[in-house]
């Protein structure tokens, strides 16, 4: 997968080259190119934003700069080739979910446009949508200063799903949310720590009982912390033992 990120803070994307993602890049599983938006300014101040029409606080990112940047970064899409998907993180976007991470993992190319909080001139999105799929995506209902942190989160969620990126592919299959529930508590050695023992069932070797215990803890945690996820489960997702909980 090829990933391009356009930002006024290229340094913010440095973590993409660390650890698991760094190894995936070294292994050629993903390629990441980070582009400084100011490359496409032509004024001495390298201005990338301006005051909003209609007034109001903050600044809006200028369409000319973004238009030239996306034209250059996306380039000419060879005829017959699918264009990349453009992902624009914004608090006004569709909530990013694990299902979307799987969708994006199937793409051969993703381009990320990092806007500042007040956003990018809407005409950039409208123009881009005439020649490639554009998703405006939010990673949560809180206010960040710009899209860079959202890009780090989305790229990590997507890249770990790509074949060969995770050492143990089973991890991705047993993700939280993969069965619609939150993962329950996890334990490792020592058996007792600060007077707290690991639940006996986990050391019993009884795999049926262990699976039941884990499912019960996941259901309890989901009901307590994310009742919305429980309500969204298809009726067939809960078996009789689940309902007895
Ligand atoms: O993903 C969003 N969540 C919250 N705030 C944001 C600010 C700028 C870009 C993207 C986001």
Distance (angstroms) between ligand 1 centre and the Cα of 9 equals 15
Split at pLDDT 50, 70, 90, the class of 170 is: low
Distance 197 CA to ligand 1 centre (A): 41
From 10, 52, 83, 91, the catalytic residue = 91
- State ipTM: 0.91
Share of the chain above pLDDT 90, in %: 82
Q: Ligand 1 pocket: which of 49, 97, 143, 145 to mutate (most atoms <8 Å of CB)?
A: 143
Contact of 172 with 160, CB cutoff 8 Å: yes
Residue 92 Cβ inside 6 Å of ligand 1? The answer reads no
What local confidence, expressed as pLDDT, does residue 186 receive?
Answer: 98
Per residue in 43-58, pLDDT tens? 999 999 999 999 999 9
For helices 98-105 and 148-159, angle between their N-to-C axes, nearest 10 degrees: 70
Phi, psi torsion values for 8, nearest 5 degrees? -95, 0
Residue 220 alpha carbon to ligand 1 centre in Å: 31
Q: Say whether 84 is catalytic.
A: no
pLDDT for residue 205: 98
Mean pLDDT of 61-73: 98
Tell me the β-bridge partners of 5: 34, 112
Query: Among positive and negative, which fits the CA dihedral 41, 43, 47, 50?
Result: negative
Residue 118 annotated among the catalytic residues of the structure = yes
Tell me if 16 sits within 8 A of 125, measured CB to CB. no
State the average pLDDT for the chain. Answer: 94
């Amino acid at each position: 997968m090829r990933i391009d990120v356009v930002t006024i803070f290229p340094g913010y994307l440095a973590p993409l080259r660390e650890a698991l993602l760094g190894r995936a890049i070294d292994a050629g599983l993903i390629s990441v190119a980070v582009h400084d938006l100011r490359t496409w300014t032509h004024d001495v101040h390298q201005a990338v934003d301006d005051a909003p029409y209609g007034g109001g606080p903050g600044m809006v990112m200028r369409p000319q700069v973004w238009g030239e940047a996306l034209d250059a970064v996306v380039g000419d899409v060879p005829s017959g080739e699918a264009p990349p998907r453009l992902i624009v993180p914004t608090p006004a976007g569709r909530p990013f979910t694990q299902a979307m991470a799987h969708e994006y993992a199937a793409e051969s190319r993703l381009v990320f446009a990092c806007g500042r909080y007040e956003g990018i001139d809407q005409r950039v999105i409208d123009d881009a949508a005439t020649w490639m799929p554009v998703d405006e995506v939010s990673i949560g209902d809180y206010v960040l200063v710009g899209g860079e942190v959202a890009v780090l989160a989305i790229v990590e969620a997507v890249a770990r799903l790509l074949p060969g990126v995770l050492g143990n592919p089973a991890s991705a299959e047993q993700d939280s949310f993969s069965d619609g529930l939150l993962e329950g508590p996890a334990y490792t050695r020592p058996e007792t720590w600060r007077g707290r023992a690991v639940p006996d069932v986990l050391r019993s070797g009884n795999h049926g009982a262990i699976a039941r215990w884990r499912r019960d803890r996941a259901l309890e945690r989901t009901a307590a912390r994310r009742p919305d996820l429980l309500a969204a489960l298809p009726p067939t997702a809960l078996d009789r033992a689940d309902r007895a909980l």
